[in-house]
Amino acid sequence: MANEDYNPACLPDLLPLYYRRLFPFPQYYRWLSYGGVSKNYFQNREFCFTLKDDIYVRYQSFSTQNELEKEMQKMVPYKIDIGAVYSHRPSQHNTVKSGTFQALEKELVFDIDMTDYDDVRRCCSAADICSKCWTLMTIAIHILDRALREDFGFHHLLWVYSGRRGVHCWVCDDAARKLSVAARSAVAEYLSLVKGGEDTVRKVVLSDPIHPFIKYSLSVVERYFPQYAIVEQDILGSKESVDKVLAPLPEDIKKDLTTFFQKVKNPMERWEELCTLVEHKKSSSKKGGQYFDKEIMLQYCYPRLDVNVSKGVNHLLKSPFSVHPKTGRISVPIDLKELDTFDPFEVPTISLICEELEKPRTDEVEDEDMKDKENEQDAGERRRIRDYKRTSLAKYVKVFDNFLEAMTRSRKGEMLKKSDLQKDF
């Protein structure tokens, strides 16, 4: 993903400015403190900094927002990862008796990476993405977001663009953060349909009855499949990719289709014929329950999760608002209301927002400068808020703000409920 305005060599010059004036520390601290309900929640959280030349500094932890700020401004990490909340302060993990230092809680996280779709993408491979294959991420978010909310009953989901080729999901509900390893892996497996590695041809197998979750997911995939897979990816366009699509089908259908494809070149007609044949076979066979067409759709479009990332409580995941060192893009929260128009190439790079900051400011703010004097303490913070508001980062911080606001509201609701209950006694 080349972009004209960012040059990786400039990163060391831009990062100090970013951490000094743009990184949304107050919101970030507010997020990871979770209302301060359980003690030391922020203090016992692991951060991992990646410095120049891929030097990893694990088990960083901070007691206050101020300390985090100071440290980040001092160390200027190229990348920031967030780990678990531990039983002790991670920075002191060497001083506690071995075995007692344990990861206790973490958000339930999901990592969807475009490289995992390499066998079903024709536009790009590996770390490259384009607006065509980005549809896969859109589909993934639609499917997983619904399931996590409706099936699992979670409310506080933060979807984040990773800055390069994928998306992350942070499920932040209390219940999600407390899940055991077994529960995390069960959730991840419930959500996984595409199974098997390089040696598996048919990676999705459906059987009767089709679970409601799969039905919902199919309805999403069906909405995108014709335009995305048949037209844009043109999976029935060339010999090679046709072979791949047909590989999981039973021999008789494969034979009929090969003959048909010799006459008909239009991909959409080809796909319709495939569906007709599968349907026909299903109605004629007594067994029923053969869903080859649906399996193909899922194999090509269904979200592919890195289960290992979701499973481990102590697994690290790149933090929101961290910069991707290769692309320079900021890891920003995605507004689900505008998911279908989200364009990863529009996400601001660090160069862009730093440049925006340097532009001469209009005089809109003199008024506020006066107020600052009344409250010296907040002055610094306010200046920073004004700073990011002048850049294209603003709209993404707003998304983050809304997410935090919703969490605070529901926490207050919970507390009211609890105190009401107590009054009853």
Partner 1 sequence: MQFSGKRKKLIGSSQNDLYGHCLQFYGQPPLDNISLAEFETLAVERLKLLKTVENLGVSYVKNSVQYSKKLEAEFTSLNFPLRTELGDQKVQGGTSEYEKRRKDHISHFILRLAYCQTEDLRRWFIQQEMDLFRYRFNDLSSKYKTDFLHKNNLKYETVSAEEKNILKDKLINSSYGLSGITVEEYDFYKVPFQDALDLVRTRKVYLLAGNAYIPHSEIVTIVLNDFRTRLSKALAMTARSLPAVQSDERLQPLLSHLSHAYVGQDYSIQKNIGKISLEQIDSLSGKSFPLCMRHVHKALRENHHLRHGGRMQYGLFLKGIGLTLEQALQFWRSEFVKGKVDADKFDKAYAYSVRHMFGKEGKRTDYTPYSCMKVILSNPPSQGDYHGCPFRHSDPELLKQKLQSYKISPSGINQVLELVKGMHYQLACQKYFELTHSVEDAGFSLNHPNQYFTESQKLLGGGRDIKKEVEMSQKGQENPSSMSRPSQESSKQAHEEMGDLDSFFQDE
Q: How far is the CB of 270 from partner 1 (least distance, A)?
A: 24
Specify whether the CB–CB gap between 146 and 157 falls below 8 A.
Answer: no
Among 29, 41, 59, 213, binds partner 1 (CB under 8 A): 213
x-or-dash string of contact with partner 1, 262-301, rule CB under 8 A: ----------------------------------------
Using alpha carbons, list the distances in angstroms from residue 296 to 128, 137, 198, 221: 24, 18, 16, 11
Packing angle, helices 376-389 and 366-374, rounded to 10:
150
Listed ranges 157-165, 173-181, 279-287, 399-407: which one lies at the site for partner 1 (CB under 8 A) = 173-181
Among 29, 59, 152, 260, binds partner 1 (CB under 8 A): 152
Q: How far is the CB of 364 from partner 1 (least distance, A)?
A: 46
Q: How far is the CB of 314 from partner 1 (least distance, A)?
A: 12
Binding-residue total with partner 1 (CB under 8 A): 44
Using CA atoms in the order 253, 255, 259, 261, what is the torsion angle rounded to 10 degrees?
Answer: 60
381 is catalytic: no
* Residue bearing tokens 């060339």: 238
> How far is residue 340's CA from residue 338's CA, in Å, rounded to a whole number?
6
- Select 275 or 307, whichever has its Cβ closest to partner 1: 307
Among 10, 175, 415, 416, binds partner 1 (CB under 8 A): 175
3-state secondary structure of 49: strand
Listed ranges 85-93, 133-141, 191-199, 363-371: which one lies at the site for partner 1 (CB under 8 A) = 191-199
Per DSSP (E only), the strands in 312-354 are 317-318
Specify whether the CB–CB gap between 24 and 397 falls below 8 A.
Answer: yes
Maximum distance among all Cα pairs of the chain, rounded to whole angstroms: 82
- Select 29 or 101, whichever has its Cβ closest to partner 1: 101
Query: Which contacts qualify for 3-9: CB closer than 8 Å, 24 or more apart?
Result: 3/327, 3/328, 3/345, 3/349, 5/349, 5/351, 5/352, 5/355, 6/327, 6/328, 6/329, 6/349, 6/350, 6/351, 6/352, 7/328, 7/351, 8/325, 8/326, 8/328
- Can you give the length of the chain in residues? 425
* Residue bearing tokens 């199974």: 195
Q: How far is the CB of 162 from partner 1 (least distance, A)?
A: 17
Cis amide prior to 348 (ω within 30 degrees)? no
- Select 158 or 194, whichever has its Cβ closest to partner 1: 194
Question: Can residue 54 be called a binding residue for partner 1 (CB under 8 A)?
Answer: yes
Question: Can residue 57 be called a binding residue for partner 1 (CB under 8 A)?
Answer: no
> How far is residue 324's CA from residue 297's CA, in Å, rounded to a whole number?
32
Question: Can residue 243 be called a binding residue for partner 1 (CB under 8 A)?
Answer: no
Question: Can residue 416 be called a binding residue for partner 1 (CB under 8 A)?
Answer: no
Q: How far is the CB of 94 from partner 1 (least distance, A)?
A: 12
Q: How far is the CB of 79 from partner 1 (least distance, A)?
A: 13
Helix residue spans in 302-393 (DSSP H): 307-311, 350-358, 366-374, 376-389
199 is catalytic: no
Among 190, 227, 255, 416, binds partner 1 (CB under 8 A): 190
Question: Can residue 195 be called a binding residue for partner 1 (CB under 8 A)?
Answer: yes
Question: Can residue 177 be called a binding residue for partner 1 (CB under 8 A)?
Answer: no
Per DSSP (E only), the strands in 301-391 are 317-318
Question: Can residue 117 be called a binding residue for partner 1 (CB under 8 A)?
Answer: yes
> How far is residue 5's CA from residue 328's CA, in Å, rounded to a whole number?
9
- Select 189 or 269, whichever has its Cβ closest to partner 1: 189
Q: How far is the CB of 85 from partner 1 (least distance, A)?
A: 19
Per DSSP (E only), the strands in 10-74 are 45-51, 55-60
> How far is residue 144's CA from residue 150's CA, in Å, rounded to a whole number?
10
- Select 153 or 288, whichever has its Cβ closest to partner 1: 153
111 is catalytic: yes
**Residues forming the active site:** 46, 111, 113
Q: Would you tell me which residues interact with partner 1 (CB under 8 A)?
A: 53-55, 98, 115-119, 150-154, 175, 179-180, 182-183, 185-187, 189-190, 194-202, 209-215, 304, 306-308
